[in-house]
Structure 1
Amino acid sequence: MFVYLILIASFFLLIPLAFNYNSKAVMMNKVPGPKLSFILGNAPEIMMLSSVELMKLPRKFASRWQGIYRIWAFPLSIIIIYNPDDVEVIVSTTKHNEKSSVYKFLKPWLGHGLLISKGEKWQQRRKILTPAFDFSILRQFSVIFEENSQRLVESLEKCIGKPIDIVPVVSEYTLNSISQTSMGTQQSDKTEDAWKAYKDPIYELGPYFFRRFTRVYLYFDIIFYLTSLWRKMKKPLKSLHGFTSTVIKERKIYVEQNGVKFGEDVNDDDLYIYKKRRKTAMLDLLIAAQKDGEIDDHGIQEEVDTFMFEGHDTTASGLTFCLMLLANHRAVQDKIVEEINDIMGDSTRRANLEDLSKMKYLECCIKESLRLYPPVPFISRNLNEPVVLSNYEIPAGSFCHIHIFDLHRRADIYEDHLVYDPDRFSPENTKGRHPYAYIPFSAGPRNCIGQKFAMIEMKSAVAEVLRKYELVPVTRPSEFELIADIILRNSGPVLITFNKRTK
């Protein structure tokens, strides 16, 4: 019996030793990184961290190593980069296009939608969906942006003069916008409880994803689907899928009764535009594609789940941090208002798309807030072949995490890198800056398909809010405790006081 125990113990000891001291491990260990524990590498340290501590850990490592370091968590090898040259190597071509296996954590929710899919499926979905985010489509949606920005202003009217948490306020605004534009639905069509049943489960899922991310053994589906964590996730996932299924069903009925309204023909020479497809709203375009046999019900569900989440939650995060920074920088607020007044004059009409396009300083302010607080703080790719990064040979089979948060805060690229300074993005100050030093919407072939949509939506909201209100700081950036989540979030509320603007 004793001999059998020795053999079993030896077996479980030799497996991790083989993983940790093979040729791949030797290559990875040439890259600087935190000290490894015997057998399990860095896994024990990561597993013990809270979501706040995990968000802080890369900042600690970034201050110690310049541009690149490695994490070895048996049996995973991870390379972390935040050097523009290395970022360009990974994201500028289709060679390293495949999202890393950490994205599979989202598959029970988003399926194989555009965020997660790879290869031919990703290319086909991208071609189908690109026309839905053409500028001419955004022009058609401009009235919806204007109306929703006005509703945002009116909702703040109820809270004049007292601190409010802006997170739920801007989340409602962005959820309204993506629903009414890309999905063709209306918040008024739903009960308040139905919309709450969509937003709340997203926040509920965040800690579950964090737990799976920090526990290496849960990376394996065969183990994860046997755990209580998976059982807990089923309820919020059911709520999310139920909501989007209803959105799809109702829009299909509408299209059946009214047909699909197409815009002008697209340019067939465009690499990412599906030939013979014409411009229309996203969900209508997917429904039309299904009639042509290019996508099925499950595929539509995947893309609607993906864009309902990405189209509202990332933009809500961006708006939250932008408004907080403006509240803490009165001189910047005043300069934006001065620009708006120069464009709008004494008119009380809503700012339209042409007005927004003239608001160059406002755009700089938003870009600077996205630099300091990128809604997606890191992206990750699978390395399916060896690659050289910062003169280190990185073996195939590794994950490559691109830490956008740390890339955007490099002191050698951005002078006074922690200071909120919108003038960094004036034309004269962006000349000569590395094109991959600033990637809030990712970059290359897998860049964010909805970045123009998000920028217009944010400009519309900020412009209308500042025309009506002065923002007074309550929560300071120094008080933030950012958490490791799908989207960049503060651990607590983000409080601002809104006062009526006096001319």
Structure 2
Amino acid sequence: MFIVYVLVLLVVSLSVYERFCRRGRLRAKVPGPTYWPLVGNTLETLIPHDKLFIYLRTLNKKYGDVVGFGALDIVAINIYNPNDIEKILSSTKYIEKQQPYTFLRGWLGEGLLTSYGKKWQRRRKLLTPAFHFNILRRFFRTFEEETEELLKKVEAEVSNERTDIGKLISNMTLKAVCKTAMGTSMNEGIQALSAKYFDAIQNLGAILVRRICTLWLFVDFTYQFTSYARKEQKILKDLHGFTRDVIRQRKTYLKQNPSILNLDYDDETNKKGRLAMLDLLIQNQNEGGIDDEEIREEVDTFMFRGHDTTSMALTFFIMRLADEPQIQEKIYQEMKSIFGDSDRPATMEDIKEMKYLECCIKESLRIYPSVHYIARYVTEDVELGGYTVPANSIIQIHIYDLHRREDLYPEPERFVPERFSPENCVNRHPYAYIPFSAGPRNCIGQKFAMLEMKTLVSSILRKYRLEPVTRHKDIVFVSELVLRSRDPIYVKFCSR
């Protein structure tokens, strides 16, 4: 009985301290759902992932632009106003990432997505040249080749009443990343692992979201004894097996062709050559800069960010175009103005002329931002929306909600590509549209993604008309690392 009294006294003491210490007092001033002693707001999040997604959408509407959340000594502040978002994302003071990104370190280590400080700065400086315009010109050839392969599969789908567009696209984007940034040809061994890779990412995302929302899973010590941790280890075996095979294949090729790492000039541009991402990492390892595990971290990071996010962005975009026949026709007419009746492949110059298609892609990324949530960790007090956020707090930025603010985007659910015409972008807040994040930690591969999306969609629409099967109003989203629908997304392809 004495032990029970001691435990009760301890819990009460912790609750009182948590509420009335400086951090607790500052947190209590921020609007938000009822904050229960010790467990905080975790009870509201112990719901299925589709319901969790809906619940999170209510916070901004109910409590305003700054919403408090958390548990124990964890203070998490959700922000939705572009002025506050700019304050966090534009500053080099706030580039640190802690939870929930620490939960990704079993998978991604301390790669570009999860690292911070000097390590992040060194990696960013090392990898930035891998996405230079001259490199993207070389990637464009691969995008064309993979698009041609995809079109052959689409042709086989024309007789079907519906096609699972997600499955079709995800294989193409994975192959494109392997062949471009990784320089790997996707041999039979890697191809066999690719199916596991798709499932592994989704399953891992579901586990990580559950961990973020569950207090006893938040702590490493207790998490390691759970079935979630055991399942994560099995998933990581598949994910790391895939990326290590990619690295091994490229290293073998470079040993047979060592001149690639000593490239002095690009044959086409007659300028100093630039290496693709994995080649840069291997070269840096040869010079004593990084080791095998650090290469694996960056390959895992880009395989995830460069494949999964682009795949989902394309899936939602194609689905929405099928549901917007007038906009689809406008894109087709733009293609006709560029190509006429020719069936020649596109060039980089053609891609630049696809102005309306680019507006459509941007509008799709507004409505369906693949990375719908990002977070930063502040190590000093910061004023946001008139409230003092204490040091050592997590700042959570919900891009999905930002992109649907009616004061920024009237009738936000409507698909209106003209929002992104040059004249309509002039007065828009620079942090009102951030599908690739913004500031010092913006997405290093955003030009890569845009080029891939324009190449693929323009090629599809030149040959096929899209008819809706899955309607945009019927989509049920789930809370995961990347914006996903609960159910498969279908369209119908019709030959022109």
**Short-chain TM bin:** over 0.9
Deviation at 1:176, TM superposition (A): 0.9
Three-state SS of the structure 2 residue aligned to 1:379 is strand
Distance 1:230 1:39, change over 3 A: closer
Q: How do residues 41-440 of structure 1 correspond to structure 2 at under 5 angstroms?
A: 41-46=40-45, 48-161=46-159, 162-190=161-189, 192-259=191-258, 260-261=260-261, 279-440=274-435
What's the counterpart of residue 448 of structure 2?
453
**Contact between 1:152 and 1:173, CA under 8 Å: does it hold in 2?**
yes
| CA displacement, residues 330-387 of structure 1 (integer Å, 9 cap, x when unaligned) | 0101100111111112221111211111101000000000000100001001111100
Alpha-carbon distance in 2 for matches of 1:119, 1:69: 28
Secondary structure, aligned partner of 1:241:
helix
Amino acid at match of 1:232: K
* Cα offsets for 1:458-488 (capped at 9, x unmatched): 0011001101111001111111110000100
- Code of the residue aligned with 2:227 in structure 1: it is S
Q: Which secondary structure does the structure 2 equivalent of 1:141 belong to?
A: helix
List gaps (5 residues or longer) in structure 1: 267-276
SS, match of residue 167 in structure 2: helix
The one-letter code of the counterpart of 2:82 is P
Deviation per CA, 1:132-182, whole angstroms, max 9, x where unpaired? 011110001111011111111111111114211111111011101100001
Identify the range of structure 1 (255-264 vs 417-426) with the bigger mean alpha-carbon deviation. 255-264
More displaced 10-residue stretch of structure 1: 180-189 or 332-341: 180-189
Provide closer, same or farther for how the CA distance between residues 195 and 295 of structure 1 changes in structure 2, counting only shifts above 3 A: same
Equivalent position SS for 1:70: strand
| RMSD after superposition | 1.6
Task: Kindly provide the amino acid, as one letter, of the partner of residue 226 in structure 1.
Answer: F
**Contact kept? 2:382, 2:388, Cα under 8 Å:** yes
For 2:296 and 2:48, the matched residues in 1 are separated by 33
Partner residue, 2:15: 16
Partners in 2 of 1:441 and 1:191 — Cα distance? 29
Checking the alignment, whether the CA contact within 8 Å between 1:131 and 1:278 is kept in structure 2 is no
Q: Structure 2, unaligned stretches of length 5 or more?
A: 267-271
Residue identity opposite 1:355 in structure 2: D
Moved more, 424-433 or 347-356: 347-356
2:269 maps to none
**Alignment partners' CA distance in 2, 1:394 and 1:251:** 47
The 2-side partners of 1:90 and 1:100 are apart by: 15
Residue 470 of structure 1 aligns to a residue in which SS?
strand
Residues 190 and 246, structure 2, Cα contact 8 Å, conserved in 1: no
Counterparts of 1:20 and 1:168, CA distance in 2? 49
**Does the residue aligned with 2:94 lie in a helix, a strand or coil?**
coil
Cα displacement (A) at 1:212: 0.6
Structure 1 residue ranges (4+ consecutive) displaced by more than 4 angstroms after TM superposition: 261-266
| Contact 1:262–1:279 (Cα < 8 Å) also in 2 | no
1:188-237 Cα distance to aligned partner (Å, 9 max, x none): 45464222122221122122112111112222212212222111111111
Contact 2:190 2:245 in 1 (8 A): no
Report how far residue 265 of structure 1 moved: 8.1
3-state SS in 1 of match to 2:492? strand
Residues 367 and 400 in structure 2, CA contact (< 8 A), matched pair in contact too: yes
Greater shift in the superposed pair: 4-13 or 121-130: 4-13
**Secondary structure, aligned partner of 2:182:** coil
Indicate conservation of the 8 Å contact 2:143/2:455, yes or no: yes
Q: CA deviation at 1:187?
A: 2.8
2:464–2:495 Cα contact (<8 Å) kept: yes
* TM-score, L = length of structure 1: 0.94
Pair 57,264 (structure 1): closer, same or farther in 2 beyond 3 Å: farther
Could you tell me how far apart the structure 2 residues matched to 1:191 and 1:382 are? 37
In the alignment of these two chains, the number of paired residues is 489
The aligned amino acid for 1:432 is N
Whether the aligned pair in 2 keeps the contact of 1:474 and 1:497 (CA below 8 Å) is: yes
Tell me if the contact between 1:43 and 1:74 (Cα under 8 Å) persists in the aligned partners.
no
Higher alpha-carbon deviation: 459-468 or 214-223: 214-223
Counterpart AA for 1:194: L
C-alpha contact (below 8 Å) 1:262/1:280 kept by paired residues: no
Provide the C-alpha distance between the structure 1 equivalents of 2:94 and 2:218, rounded to a whole number of angstroms. 21
CA distance in 1, matches of 2:264, 2:55: 50
SS in structure 2 of the partner of residue 434 of structure 1? coil
**Matched residue, 2:480:** 485
